[in-house]
Amino acid sequence: MTRKLLLDTDPGCDDAAAIAFALGCDAVDTVGVTTVAGNSTVENTTENAIAVLEALDRPDVPVAKGCDRPLVKELTLAEHVHGDGGLYGELTQSGTAVDAHAVDFIIDQARRHGDDLTIAAVGPLTNVAVAIAREPALPNLVDDIYVMGGAAFEAGNATPVAEFNIYNDPEAASRVTQAAEPKIVGLDATNDATLPYDTVRELHDRNPRLEHVAKWCEYAPEIPATAERRDRPSLHDPAVVAAVVDDVVAFERHYTQIDTSGGLCEGQVVCDEPEVTGNPPNADIAVDIDASGFRDRLLDAYSNL
């Protein structure tokens, strides 16, 4: 059965790679792309999302522009990772965003498609948190809400304990975690969602249409280079699409809170794995990924583009 997917994004090279993945998947019908400030400003992430869809010959997929800053904190960008303007490569767009705010678009799609709809949020969670504040039934209307974020049992990539998306808007992440029982796919799984640079180059050599996709997949990894990872960037956001379409990500259910205390642990995804709080589990936490299964599904989807 084809699953309807709404991608909430901040493109972002790996966001663009995730959009391309979803568009190449037969199992998924992408009903829209919403944008949020994160890797770059929301003006840039919106232009990037439109440009990505046009580059992939899918200008029919609607893009809705969303929140321009986190709920409480100042915005932190990651252009040093994704390139000036948030996306490597020379892309321009001719289309425009739809005439609806991303928050309204998300609520509208949830009401329209109900539990046929999966939401995959691969940027800071501002849009999703505001959508839930506006429509508290949202988590019950839709099938699942997947989140790229956090580092439950690994080191962070924004701080020693926090991953970029959650660190960027911890209050929003906290709200979504409390209200939506999300499936949280963090660095524990996504660090290993890799595509070696050689494979990326082969991808492009075999099919020049994939020039842009190859560029997005080759983006500078924000993880400090280690011997193991020097030749393979982690494709964090595509890992979430893989989790939506197939069984390649392993989850454990835990009671989970997001640290919003403003100190060194801000943005940490704290899982009660030892079950000391006595609170019932409220989130599925990704703990592992079948890296070769991920790669196969990604390349398969790209070959359909």
Mind telling me the catalytic residues? 236
Distance linking the first and last C-alpha atoms of the chain: 20
Indicate the burial class of 282 (C-beta count within 10 angstroms; 0-12, 13-18, 19 or more): middle
Choose from ligand BDR, Ca ion, none: what does 163 bind? Cβ within 5-8 Å by kind. ligand BDR
Cα distance between residue 24 and residue 300, in whole Å = 8
Cα distance between residue 88 and residue 81, in whole Å = 9
Residues 6+ apart with CB under 8 A from 41: 68, 75, 77, 86
Residue pair 185/239 in contact by the 8 Å Cβ criterion? yes
Q: Which is nearer to Ca ion, 168 or 177 (CB)?
A: 168
Residue pair 110/141 in contact by the 8 Å Cβ criterion? yes
What number of helices (H) and strands (E) belong to the chain?
13, 10
Find the part of the chain contacting Ca ion (CB under 5 A) among 8-16, 175-183, 209-217, 252-260: 8-16
Q: Which is nearer to Ca ion, 10 or 135 (CB)?
A: 10
Q: Smallest distance from the beta carbon of 150 to ligand BDR, in angstroms?
A: 9
Residue 163 binds Ca ion (CB under 5 A): no
- What x-and-dash track marks residues 212-241 binding ligand BDR by CB under 6 A? ------------------------xx----
Residue 14 binds ligand BDR (CB under 6 A): yes
Residue 124 binds Ca ion (CB under 5 A): no
Residues 6+ apart with CB under 8 A from 116: 3, 4, 143
Residue 169 binds ligand BDR (CB under 6 A): no
Within the chain, what is the greatest distance between any pair of CA atoms? 55
Write the single-letter amino acid at 36: V
Among 22, 36, 122, 195, binds Ca ion (CB under 5 A): 122
Q: Smallest distance from the beta carbon of 38 to Ca ion, in angstroms?
A: 6
Residue 188 binds ligand BDR (CB under 6 A): no
Among 36, 106, 122, 180, binds ligand BDR (CB under 6 A): 122
Total residues interacting with ligand BDR, rule: CB under 6 A: 15
Residue 83 binds ligand BDR (CB under 6 A): no
Write the single-letter amino acid at 215: K
By the criterion CB under 5 A, which residues form the site for Ca ion? 10, 12, 15, 122-123, 237
By the criterion CB under 6 A, which residues form the site for ligand BDR? 12, 14-15, 39, 78, 81, 122-123, 148, 157, 163-165, 236-237
